[in-house]
Amino acid sequence: MAWALVLGLGLQREISTLNRKNWGFLAVSGVSTGLSWMFYYRALQEGPASVVAPIDKLSILVTVGFSCLVLRERLSRRAAAGLLVLTCGTLLLLL
């Protein structure tokens, strides 16, 4: 889908501006995304979707934690409240 967007928007020339570091990040992203889907489908084989799907959606906590710790982004009160509601809702679904 990403390549379709690049080609559809006529941005294929921009690809030549990517350096080694960019390509490395793209490769790691592709591998980690592929592994994520493989583990997700394996979890669906092993457990009920009503349990697996909510746990999968908690991945946003990892993303926000990463952005705070590594990228030094600040978490607003509104975002923190949203994460709290998301976590509580997920826990309620799992009960």
Distance (Å, whole) CA 69 – CA 72: 6
Give residue-wise pLDDT tens across range 14-43. 888 889 999 999 999 999 999 999 999 999
Give residue-wise pLDDT tens across range 7-18. 888 888 888 888
Distance (Å, whole) CA 50 – CA 55: 9
pTM over 0.85: no
Spatial CA neighbour of 59 closest among 77, 39, 30: 39
Tell me if 68 sits within 8 A of 75, measured CB to CB: yes
